Amino acid sequence: MSKTSYPLKLPNSVKVAAQRLAREDGVSLNQWISSAVAEKVGAVETSAAFLKHRAGDATPADLLWFLDNAADEPPVAGDERLA
């Protein structure tokens, strides 16, 4: 496995929490952060692949029918568009 260094600056509160969690897991802070980044990369890549598969050959223009036929009602309370 090839490794590279990356200087990481974290807010102190995040670093302290990560150190605590790493200690609880019995691993170094570096190992814990590497694992956390790997988990995030996997989640993002998995969700991107899932959404691409679900979209199939659809294009944004394919959704215009739904917008054109949506009811013209005010938004539900709390869903208003912020200016």
Q: Where are the domains of the chain?
A: 12-68
pLDDT by residue for the chain (83 residues), tens only, comes to: 788 999 999 999 999 999 999 999 999 999 999 999 999 999 999 999 999 999 999 998 998 999 999 988 888 999 988 87
pTM flag (> 0.75) = no
Torsion over CA: 52, 54, 58, 59 (sign) = negative
